Amino acid sequence: MRKQIAAANWKMNLTYQQGEALLDEILADGIQLAEHQLAIFAVPYPYLLMTRSEVEHENNFSVAAQNCHHKKSGAYTGEISAEMLHSLGVPYCVIGHSERREYFAESNSMLAEKVNICLENYITPIFCCGEPLEIREAGTQNDFVAEQLKESLFHLPAEKVKDIIIAYEPIWAIGTGKTASTAQAQEMHAHLRSIIAGKYGSSIADQVSILYGGSVKAGNAAELFASPDVDGGLVGGASLVPADFIAIIRALK
């Protein structure tokens, strides 16, 4: 079975102490994850080491950065490289979240560079894609997300693509309380898997975990995750509430 993943995205929330207390409370619940399940915390850079040491004795709990720079190193004041993340023992990095695409003008081609630099540094990208409301209303969401995948991922060889985690996050559902219906999520996930299969074959496509993101809550996670092509979620708001994120982890297939 491909990996089923609950990934928390804290964004720019919580102080260090609040983050530590949140992790303590979640881990104190004693959730035992199965071999094919994984819980990941995408935390602000200054909390990466603390989070790594919180989760390192837990089975299948891990840590992610929320971004990295697309260049190897150099005069980019204030930026963080993939090599730096690797040197901290960070195994995952969120790439191309819609907030970064929108507020920091991250293009599909820049995201291709980020994906490459992560892979060169043994970091698995959690690659985000998803359409804005006007594209959904125009009914062209399938072509829109296909383009995002093609321009940022499809230069990779099959053995690299199979390990990438994809997060489908319709922008109109992020932080809005408006979740995609289970049918909309399943339809898009099946579409994403079919375009990966078209390029790399179905045995590769079947190995790629595709997460849904956009107002996943304790109350809707189990239904969303039950869909055959939904392999868990990337969760913003609800990941800041211990009981809610615990329930979301427990909703994994």
Compute the distance between CA of residue 104 and CA of residue 69 in angstroms, rounded to an integer. Answer: 12
Nearer to ligand PEP, 232 or 236 (CB): 236
How many binding residues for ligand PEP (CB under 6 A)?
A: 14
Nearer to ligand PEP, 176 or 202 (CB): 176
Would you say 98 and 143 are in contact if contact means Cβ atoms under 8 Å apart?
Answer: no
Active site residue 99: no
Residues within window 16-55 making contact with ligand PEP, judged by CB under 6 A: none
> Could you give the C-alpha distances from 231 to 39, 166, 243, in angstroms and in order?
12, 10, 21
Binds ligand PEP (CB under 6 A): choice among 85, 216, 246, 249: 216
User: Binding to ligand PEP by residue 236, rule CB under 6 A?
Assistant: yes
The type of residue at 31 is I
Q: Exposed (0-12), middle (13-18) or buried (19+): which is 52, by Cβ within 10 Å?
A: middle
Binds ligand PEP (CB under 6 A): choice among 44, 91, 132, 237: 237
Tokens of 102: 């929108």
Binds ligand PEP (CB under 6 A): choice among 213, 220, 225, 244: 213
Active site residue 191: no
Tokens of 6: 């609950």
* 159 C-beta neighbours (distance < 10 Å), count: 9
Binds ligand PEP (CB under 6 A): choice among 4, 37, 148, 215: 215
Q: Which of 97, 99, 106, 131 is catalytic?
A: 97
Closest approach of ligand PEP to the CB of residue 131, in Å = 14
Q: Which has the closest alpha carbon to 147: 201, 102, 107, 203? A: 107
**Site map 138..177 versus ligand PEP, x via CB under 6 A:** -------------------------------x----xx--
- At 235, is the secondary structure helix, strand, or coil? strand
User: Binding to ligand PEP by residue 234, rule CB under 6 A?
Assistant: yes
Q: Which of 69, 99, 169, 189 is catalytic?
A: 169
Closest approach of ligand PEP to the CB of residue 3, in Å = 18
Would you say 134 and 180 are in contact if contact means Cβ atoms under 8 Å apart?
Answer: no
Nearer to ligand PEP, 127 or 200 (CB): 127
The type of residue at 39 is A
Residues within window 81-100 making contact with ligand PEP, judged by CB under 6 A: none
Compute the distance between CA of residue 193 and CA of residue 152 in angstroms, rounded to an integer. Answer: 15
Would you say 143 and 103 are in contact if contact means Cβ atoms under 8 Å apart?
Answer: no
Binding residues vs ligand PEP (CB under 6 A): 9, 11, 169, 174-175, 213-216, 234-238
Catalytic residues: 97, 169
